[in-house]
Structure 1
Amino acid sequence: MADLTTIARPYAKAAFDFAVEQKALEQWTEMLAFVAEVAANEHVAVQLKRESANTLVNLFTTVCAEQLNEHGLNLIKLMAENGRLNALPAVLALFLEYKAELAKEITADVVSATELDAAQQAQISASLEQRLARKVKLNCSVDASLMAGVIIQAGDLVIDSSVKGQLAKLSETLQA
C-alpha cells in the first residue's frame, strides 16, 4: 500500500488551498484535528477497515457533527468513498506543515546533553531564524548519551554538533 503521506497529500493540499481561499485556516485546523483524532481512535480504526463508505460517513457525521461544517463533511465523504479515512492524521500533519510554511514558521527539535537555559535557547533560535529566514519555535529535550553539544533538526536541516556525533564522524573517517 502507498505511504499514507503520499495518499494524504492531495487531500491536505486541497483542504489547505480552500481554507486559505475562504480565510478559514483556524476553522479547518480545528476540524481536521478533531477528525484526525477520531480516525486515530483504536475502535474507529478497526471500523475503517471493515465498514462501507456510507456507514463510515454516518459514523463521522454522528461523532463529529458539531465540529464539521458542510465543506468538512464533503471532505469526509470524499475520503470515505475512496477508502482513505485512515489517512486523516497524515492529512492533518501535512495541513499544519502548509500552514506553517504560509506563516513562514518552522519548528526545530533541539536535543542537548544538558538542559539549555533561556539565553542558549534564544541564541539558537536567533541563529536559526537568520539561517532559515523564518520564525523558529524550539522543542527542546535532553539526551545525556550525547555527552556534550546539541543536535538540531528543522525540516530537512540537521545540525549535529554533539560529541557523540563528532566521534561517529571521526570513526567513519578513520575506517575509510
Structure 2
Amino acid sequence: MAGDITTIARPYAEAVFARAKESGQVDAWSEALELLAAVTSDTQLVAQIGNPTVPRESIRDLILEVCGDALPGEAVNLVKLLAENSRLEAVAEIARLFEERRVADQGVRQVLVRTAFEVDAAQKDALAQALSKRLGGQVDLEIETDSTLIGGIEIRAGDLVIDDSVRSKIKQLAHALQF
C-alpha cells in the first residue's frame, strides 16, 4: 500500500515542486504542505477521508476551514484538485516527496547510517566528510544504532546501499557455504 500511495503522490509532488520553483515560492509551499499533512493526518479526518459515504466536497471544505488563511491560493487549488480526484489520502506523502525533492534540489543528500554502536561527534564529522566526497555534494546524516548489525556499518543514500556490517558478511558466508 505504501508504494501505491507514493505512486499516486509523486506526480502531484513533482508538479507542485516545479510550480514552487517557477514562482520562487518553495519555502511557502513547504510550509503549506506541512500544514496540510498535519491536518489530513488527524485520526478523525483520516477516517472521514477513507469513508466513501462522506462527500469529498465536505472533507475539502473542512480542510480549507481548518487551514484558514494560512494556505496560499495555489495550495487551496491543490486541495480542491485532490478532493475532486479522490486523492486527499495522499497529502502527507505529497508533502514528504516535496521535501525530499526540495532537499535534493539544494544539493543536500539525505543519508541514513546504521551502526552497531554509538557514533561520537568526531566519527560523525569524518563520516560526513567521506560521504560528501564520495557522493559529490553536501550530506545530511541520520544516524541510527542497530545492535542486530553485530558490528560494522550500513549506509543508505537514495538507491545507493553500502552494507559493511558483520551481519551482512555472515549472510554472505552462509550463502557461499550452501553451494
Q: One fold, TM greater than 0.5?
A: yes
Report the identity percentage: 37
Counterpart of 2:120?
A: 117
Offset from partner CA, 1:97-147 (integer Å, 9 cap, x none): 211221111111111111111221112111211121121111112112222
Higher mean C-alpha displacement, 68-77 vs 56-65: 56-65
Q: Which runs of 4+ in 1 moved over 6 A?
A: none
Counterpart of 2:8?
A: 7
Structure 1 residue 162, shift from structure 2 partner:
1.1
- Unaligned stretches of 5+ residues in structure 2: none
Instruction: Name the aligned partner's letter for residue 78 of structure 2.
Output: L
Equivalences for residues 19-168 of structure 1 within 5 A: 19-50=20-51, 51-168=54-171
Instruction: Name the aligned partner's letter for residue 66 of structure 1.
Output: D
TM-score, normalised to structure 2, is 0.93
- Unaligned stretches of 5+ residues in structure 1: none
2:11 partner SS = helix
The alignment yields a C-alpha RMSD, in angstroms, of 1.4
Offset from partner CA, 1:32-88 (integer Å, 9 cap, x none): 011111111110011112321211121111111132111100000000000000001
Cα distance between partner residues in 1 of 2:11 and 2:148: 40
TM-score, normalised to structure 1, is 0.95
1:83 partner SS = coil
How many residues were matched structurally? 176
2:113 partner SS = strand
Cα distance between partner residues in 1 of 2:177 and 2:41: 47
Instruction: Name the aligned partner's letter for residue 24 of structure 2.
Output: K
Cα distance between partner residues in 2 of 1:143 and 1:54: 46
Cα distance between partner residues in 2 of 1:133 and 1:3: 31
1:3 partner SS = helix
Instruction: Name the aligned partner's letter for residue 160 of structure 1.
Output: D
